[in-house]
Amino acid sequence: MQNGARPLLDLFIKQTGGSGYFTDFFSKIFVTLTDDFHTLVSSFQYSVSSSEKSVSIRAHLWLNFPMRNPIIVALDVPTAEQALALAEQLAPAVGGFKIGSELFTSAGPDIVKKIRERGALVFLDLKFHDIPNTVAKAVTAATKLDVQMLTVHAGGGSEMLKAAENAAEETSWKLGRTPPLVLGVTVLTSLDAGALREVGLDVNVDYQVRRLATVATNAGLRGFVCSPLEISALRKVLPASAQLVTPGIRTGEEKADDQKRTLTPREAIAAGANWLVIGRPIYAAENPRQAAEKILGSLN
Ligand code: C5P
């Protein structure tokens, strides 16, 4: 066991109350630690060798540590220049940046690289939903770009979700990096019961959200994007370690725009959100940096 691994393992067992089977069989452990996100991630590998066979098992452990900066700014702007100018200005005051379909489609993977080069964390929100093989390849490509979070549609089913999580872990393992958090998107907040019925799903929206979250958790996903009003229901069915990322945040000082069901940053954190995705209240403010600092200050 390498220096430093034992105390970390003990801490993991103490924090999670379990996984005692890890304790006796180690022949070697490699621990890499990062506190990029507020969740401390430790990845380790152990190998057990006997005369007949050699087994190598990998695991990624996630320990919840006190939150750092939970604000992720949605860079919902059309050009790389605008995105970089915002990132430059906001980086010291926020926890990361979300790159969605508009910016990625117009500026390409290069924008991810440029923001990562500046040391900021990136949430790539492309909501992959396809056959497992295709999603695995897309997640592999995103992981190679060194993003810290990415999204897949939980409705893609268990096999697709497992393929996504495995691709993130395998690729990170090969690159010696912390795997990105693969976030499941349950029911889009733009869909209501009528819209679900139209596509053949005669179910209550909340039920469908919980159901998809359970499927995704069982497939190995560790985080979800959810509306602020779904946080408490999801917290009841998800493992305590699940990471909840929440858009639909409004401070009360700006207009609600097209967000109908909103919470303030403080309310969302109190309800159990780990990360707040905030777009217009920051990037459309007269002084985006000041707006971000004010929101951060409101959390303390
Ligand atoms: O500007 P605003 O704060 O509303 O931005 C919210 C961000 O979160 C946008 O990038 C939007 O696409 C995203 N989002 C959302 N509602 C969802 C999922 C994602 O507003 N249900």
* Mean pLDDT by groups of 10 residues along the chain of 300 residues: 46 44 33 35 41 47 59 97 97 97 98 96 98 98 98 98 98 96 94 94 93 96 94 92 95 77 92 96 97 95
For residues 244 and 234, is the Cβ–Cβ distance under 8 A?
yes
**3-state class of 266 per DSSP?**
helix
247 lines ligand 1 (CB under 6 A): yes
The Cα–Cα gap between 212 and 157 comes to 9
Residue 211 Cα, ligand 1 centroid: separation in angstroms?
22
Residue 4 Cα, ligand 1 centroid: separation in angstroms?
41
DSSP-assigned letters across all residues of 20-40: GGGTT--S----EEE-SSSEE
210 lines ligand 1 (CB under 6 A): no
For residues 282 and 73, is the Cβ–Cβ distance under 8 A?
yes
278 lines ligand 1 (CB under 6 A): yes
The Cα–Cα gap between 33 and 40 comes to 7
Residue 60 Cα, ligand 1 centroid: separation in angstroms?
29
248 lines ligand 1 (CB under 6 A): yes
277 lines ligand 1 (CB under 6 A): yes
Q: pLDDT digits over 242-293, tens only? A: 999 999 999 988 766 777 778 999 999 999 999 999 999 999 999 999 999 9
Which pLDDT belongs to residue 11? 53
Strand 54-64 and strand 39-49: pairing?
antiparallel
Q: Which DSSP letter does residue 71 get?
A: E
Catalytically annotated residue among 14, 28, 114, 127: 127
Which pLDDT belongs to residue 162? 98
Which pLDDT belongs to residue 195? 93
Nearest residue (by CA) to ligand 1, atom 8, is 247
Q: pLDDT digits over 33-50, tens only? A: 333 333 333 344 444 444
Query: Relative to the CA of 250, which ligand 1 atom is closest?
Result: 3
Residue 135 Cα, ligand 1 centroid: separation in angstroms?
22
The Cα–Cα gap between 130 and 120 comes to 29
Amino acid at 128: F
Sequence-ordered list of residues with C-beta below 8 angstroms from that of 277, at least 6 positions apart, any chain: 72, 74, 98, 123, 225, 245, 246, 247, 249
Residue 15 Cα, ligand 1 centroid: separation in angstroms?
33
Residue 267 Cα, ligand 1 centroid: separation in angstroms?
17
Mutation to probe ligand 1, out of 277, 280, 282 (largest number of atoms < 8 A from CB): 277
Mutation to probe ligand 1, out of 73, 76, 278 (largest number of atoms < 8 A from CB): 76
Domains of the chain (ranges, CATH numbers): 5-64 (no CATH), 71-298 (3.20.20.70)
Q: Is 127 a catalytic residue?
A: yes
